[in-house]
Structure 1
Amino acid sequence: MIALHQPALLLLLLPALGALWLWRLPGRYLTPLRVLVYGLAILALAEPHLMRRRGGGTLVVAADRSASLPAGSAARQESLIRAVQSHRRADDRVGVVTFAARAAIEHPPQASAFGGFAAGHDLDASNLAEALQAALALIPAQRAGRILLLTDGRYTGADPRGAAGAAAARGIAIDYRLLARGTAGDLAIERIEAPQELRPGEALLATAWIDSPADQTITYALRRGAVIVAQGSRPVPRGLTPLVFRDRPADHPGVVHGYLLTVSGDGGNDPVVENNRARFLVSTAGDKPLLCVPASDASHLPGLLASGGREVRVCAPHELDGRLESLAGYAGLVIENTRADQIGPAVLQTVAAWVRHAGAGLLMTGGHNAFGVGGYYRSALEPVLPVSMELRREHRKFAMSIVVALDRSGSMAMTVPGGRTKMDLANLGTVEILHLLGDQDEMGVIAVDSQAHVVLPRMPADAMRGQENRILGIQSMGGGIFVYEALKAAA
């Protein structure tokens, strides 16, 4: 099939025909030659190209799951994904990647139906760059592919233009379906101006700027913890209006007070209610204690820290209060040889935000339960610490060689909660193992049923990273589970 990149340029045929009619040339052959030259020149300008069937393609849908999307977006995204799958050709493959603070592979490219969203996300971010990188990794190098973005266009983290450039270099088109909230009639708290710290006995003076889409009467309330500082209603004009609040909090040195301001309009149809609430923290000047999460009750670290003249408070990992207003009452956090899962991902996310935006201190000691081996690799704390959580080439004495044997018997086709199969989970786990390896390590992948099948022979990990789609494409094929055959092939 022949197609044109610039079909609109064919309209140049009209003035060309006019020129042929007005300025006729004598001779029998000059006019046909002139017609041929004009036609070929205009056709060349239209950039014709031949579209050939190259076999099936891969479409990866990257769905934004962040909180900035309108209500009901998840249902619309799942409906769009199923619509895409219903129109695919027999040899096409459709994959799904979801993203918020991090990207997750929900559905490796395959012919089977998408079972719905299952990955958990921190909804307060939208890492579009990581989502594009994950989608690119799912498209085989020698296979036609496209990426479909389902997003509102807002992103956090790295600039996605780098990943978009990598897609363009591979000839992979990026399409998008915009799922944005309407902003007409949006009442919002534009910003709050308040001091970060008060002297003991000093009163608080805070100004909130309210952006109103029209003249209306708004209702507001300012709370300090459970105490209502001010509430009421007042008319505001269209545009920005300041609301000034005064408070006299307790003047205990080092105490942090959390404030919550809420506003609402009189129309009741605000399209973005999330920006009708704002929190801010104000502390009273004075020394703040250190918070220490020791490795055990017998740890000597809290005593050593206290011997330096600093007040130290001790907290078990599972008792760590992850609220920002609670953490703000400390000068810093010390984590001693404690696994990441003992603290929890939600608390680690808040600690990272506290360190990054409030300038709090963070100290992590080494040990068998710390850093990469303790589960902090690719955690929320990794970007705020000045060390890498993975063992680099120059830090290792020996390289590692690992062969992963995956069961692909009939039972692996069983589904699990969330719509995935056991085989999908095994494939995703194998890819995560690959991500943990350094470039000097080696890895091989074997699928086993009644016999061992080498999916990828043992090779350097950096070479295997370009073939993740082959791992994700392993399917349950029936048969038994001959473990000995897998061990023999791996050896």
Structure 2
Amino acid sequence: LVALGFTLAACAALAWWLMGVAAAGVRFDWGGQTYELLQPTWLVVFAVTPLFALAVTRSLADLPAAQRWLGVLVRAALTALLTLAVARLARTTDATRVSTVFLVDVSESVPDPALDDARETVRAAWDARGESDVQLVTFARDAHAVPLGAEDDPVPELPRFEEADAGRGSDLQTALQLAYGLFPPGHLRRVVLLSDGNQTSGDVLAEASRARDFGVRVHVRPMRQGAPPEVAVRELVLPDRIEVGEPFPVRARVFASVPAAARLRLYQGETLNGLDSVRDVELEPGETEIEFRSIVRVAGPVTYRLTAEPKARVEGEPVPNRFAENDEFETTVVVPGKPTVLYVEGMEGRATYLARALSAADFDVDVRGPRAIPTSMRELERFDFFVLSDVSAEQVSLGQLDLIERYVRDVGGGFLFAGGENGYGLGGWQGTRMEQILPVRMDAERRRDQPSLALALVIDRSGSMNGQKIELAKDAAKATAELLSSDDYLEVIGFDSQPERIVRMQSAANRVRILRDISRLAARGGTAIFPALDAAYQDLAVTRARLKHV
């Protein structure tokens, strides 16, 4: 206990002394270099080393004394290294030379006089550099280092970027990142940013915080020469609701950086707006609102486009049109009209009565046959309502079924399914996606006079059918199996150089087994069609059914 007490007292005394040393700061010279501890408080960790000596004196290990005390020294050395690591031992230098990188914004939003001033700023720094270092980076969307120190002109003119659209943006973050690699060693790092501050990409604030961590001091010198002379069409504002045949206002908002004149043209579609199309206006600095009048004669999407032709107020002054791409603005509005109905009737001649009733109720009706069912969402979404009347499942493709489902579920279109001789179960809709769309079941019994069917599917499974082709063939066979009723018969023969009965002739009611067997179909081998057709004929010849198909 006495030894433990003395050891703890030694630890406490050492910790007290180390805390005093840390409070005064630790800085020393060695080998011509200056070192210091950035966090000297962690020196107190070294105070545990007296415990290593106590552990040796109390150890029961049968080792020579020299080896045990060597272990104490190794542990103390490792503790010292760990202490120096957490105390952040660092080498410090007193730099007197400064490296300054000028970042100059040469994007199109910076006027030429501002670039001339920036060049003079860089030239003054170059002339006064002495033993320090001065470098130059120009930037817009990208950043490039510009060599300095030529004999004829140490600071060249600041060129704008010649690449297409390269000057239509400012990425200050990219320019600052490029500057990190330009600083020579042994210099204080400085960055001078000359820009109008119109950042279009990047995050210069986050990069400035990172620069501080790298020991780079960032100075900002705003370009205050003002924006270049410019006229820009900012917006076209139309009413929230427009009625067919009713006049309404179209408000244009035009910005000018200097006093200017402009000729404005308003287009409706591809032609000039009928009521009010051309205006010659005087623009003051800031935003000006000009009101046009317009009228829409036909319902549907209508596109309005306003173009501005800037002019100088005083003859001889430059035309305020630095950026031609902002001289026009386009917007589209949908003008509601009569509700539109797509009426697809499966039996020709029966559409008259419903179409006449819908027209009398102020609906715009488009009557079509099953072959004219839309095949794209762009065509189908033009209609507010879709009526599908007395159309069988075989007249609607899987793609059109998917389109109808998305039209109802995603677009929110109205849908009416009407039965008849070709509707519901009689039309083969049982088990199809249509049954999932509608809140009804289509498992009604077929008419008694409908004949049973024996169907043989002969599918090419040769090597040329490998990949997507064989998968499409299997999907078609499965869709056929799901469409048949329990009164029908089905056989599937796959052929390459020899035919194979993948599904033997059996009742279509065995759907689960049939679908599983069809999935086994795989592409391989050559091609011999006739033996497969002959096998299908032989099987159908002995099958009792009113209708037989291959």
What interval of TM-score do these two structures reach, taking the shorter chain for normalisation? 0.3 to 0.5
TM-score, scaled relative to structure 2: 0.34
Q: Which has the higher contact order (CA 8 A, sep 6+)?
A: 1
TM-score, scaled relative to structure 1: 0.37
